Amino acid sequence: MEKQSREGMEEYWHWFCASLFSEPSLEKKLLKRFGTPMAVFHAAEEEIRMVSPRNEKKLSAFCAGRKRWNFSQERERLARLGIRFVSMEQEEYPSRLKGLTDAPCGLFFRGTLPSDDRPAVAIVGARNCSAYGNSVSYWFAKELAGQGVQIISGMARGIDGTSHRGALAAGGETYAVLAGGVDRCYPEENRDIYMEMEKKGGLISESPPGIRPLTFLFPLRNRILSGLADAVLIIEAKEKSGSLITADCALEQGRDVYAVPGPLGEALSEGCHNLIRQGAGLAVSPEKLMEDLMILPGINMKNVQKNKITLERSEYLVYSCLRLQAQNLGEICEATQLSPQDALRILAKLQLKGYAKEVSRNYYAAAKKL
């Protein structure tokens, strides 16, 4: 009876996530107001619209959609497509995502989900990468995967696709976080790794099956891509690049960010060099990266996470502004938009945790990497 009850609740989660996959903020507001997807499903339309008056049209469409939802047909559809769904309430839901403030309420996937017990590194970069970037991404992914590190990427052309290929060549596991539904291979040129990943890793998305990878969905999926990893490695990125959005997500989530240096004067090197100037780790080889991340073959990441000191969101904000070269309090306040009093309070916490140091009066620098 209890199992049937859990399965029934999971079907309401399936409906909820499939209906609001592109509106995570609305998902959170509705859950805060009604508690569960089942309660949302049975709530009056007027009550639902009151949750966010600014989004009245979206919520009206959401309410109209629930009238057409057929639980048994949708359940059968997932089974027919070979797709599984897991909500954030289930044990199978990745623990790395559970602590995030903007965690997806549910995931659709083919294959498996990344293991919580094994290290994971996300590798992302330019779609139109150079021969250098192509070679470096394959090298890092293959060497890391060969040591049991799970490789996370976005299956885009260029660095992403090459990273998946490197991991598969090592016989490792690799996972693609997609913007569209996992029943859609995009781009089509990566059909070979799309088919192989279902057997040696997984295809993961917040979007339900049938959804095309629309442009506005890519920034949303980036928070999942970085959230599933212990660290994010950027290989080739222009000064304004989608990969830098992933790096920002990683910093907000408390993940380590590394960048591979590139040839001087090249546009594809600018984004990585800027990240390194801002305090990102310098990635010069897979072996050095694993050493920095304390990744050893057979390591259990649950024990690492248990012993790792965590920072609050405000502490991450201030820490991300610190550099090896000391900055004065005014510069930190300008970068974070915090008052001097709030910045000093947070800096004091960072000093107690060993992540910041006061070099001279009101001049602060990073003491160590996260």
Question: According to the model, what pLDDT value does residue 292 have?
Answer: 86
| Structural domain includes residue 98 | no
- Asked if 236 and 125 touch (Cβ cutoff 8 Å), the reply is yes
In-domain check, residue 82: no
Confidence at residue 242, expressed as pLDDT on a 0 to 100 scale: 87
- Name the band, by pLDDT with cuts 50, 70 and 90, for residue 321: confident
* Biggest CA pair distance of the chain: 66
- Regarding whether 356 and 279 lie in a shared domain, the answer is no
Cβ distance 351 to 358 under 8 Å?
yes
Name which residue leads in pLDDT, 164 or 312. 164
Please give the C-alpha separations between residue 355 and each of 292, 297, 310, 369, 370, in angstroms, as whole numbers: 16, 27, 11, 7, 8
Q: Treating both helix axes as pointing N-terminal to C-terminal, what angle do 159-169 and 131-146 enclose, rounded to 10 degrees?
A: 40
Report pLDDT digits (tens) over 265-283: 999 999 999 999 988 999 9
Report the half-sphere exposure of 100 (CA within 13 A, side-chain side): 25
Looking at the structure of the chain, the number of domains it has is: 3
At 192-246, the pLDDT tens digits run: 999 999 999 999 999 999 999 999 999 999 999 999 999 999 999 999 888 999 9
The β-bridge relationship of strands 174-178 and 201-205 is parallel
Does residue 81 lie within any of the structural domains? Answer: no
Given 255, 283, 305, the domain boundary residue is 305
Q: Tell me the CB-side half-sphere exposure of residue 365, using CA atoms within 13 A.
A: 8
Same domain, 270 and 146: yes
Q: Are 211 and 270 within one domain? A: yes
User: For residues 138-167, b (16+ Cβ closer than 10 Å) or e, as one string?
Assistant: bbbbbbbbbbbbbbbbbbbebbbbbbbbbb
Reported as a pLDDT band with limits 50, 70 and 90, residue 351 is: confident
292 and 320 inside one domain:
no
Q: Indicate if 289 and 326 belong to the same structural domain.
A: no
Q: Are residues 222 and 121 in the same domain?
A: yes
DSSP for residue 188:
G
Same domain, 141 and 259: yes
Answer yes or no: do 12 and 44 share one domain. yes
Q: How far apart are CA 40 and CA 52, in angstroms?
A: 14
The CATH number assigned to the domain holding 213 equals 3.40.50.450
The domain in which residue 354 lies consists of 309-366
Distance of CA 156 to the CA centre of its chain: 15
Whether 317 maps to a domain, the answer reads yes
Choice among 127-141, 142-156, 280-294, 347-361 with the minimum mean pLDDT: 347-361
**Same structural domain for residues 344 and 297?**
no
pTM of the predicted model over 0.85 = no
Q: Which residue has the tokens 């992914």?
A: 141
Cross-strand partners of 87: 106
Report the first-to-last Cα separation within the chain, whole angstroms. 45
If you ran DSSP here, which 8-state letter would residue 198 be given?
A: T
Alpha helices in the chain (DSSP H): 2-20, 24-34, 37-42, 45-50, 56-68, 71-81, 95-98, 131-146, 159-169, 191-197, 217-227, 242-252, 267-277, 286-292, 301-307, 313-319, 329-336, 340-352
Residue 325: which CATH number?
Answer: 1.10.10.10
Is 86 within a domain?
no
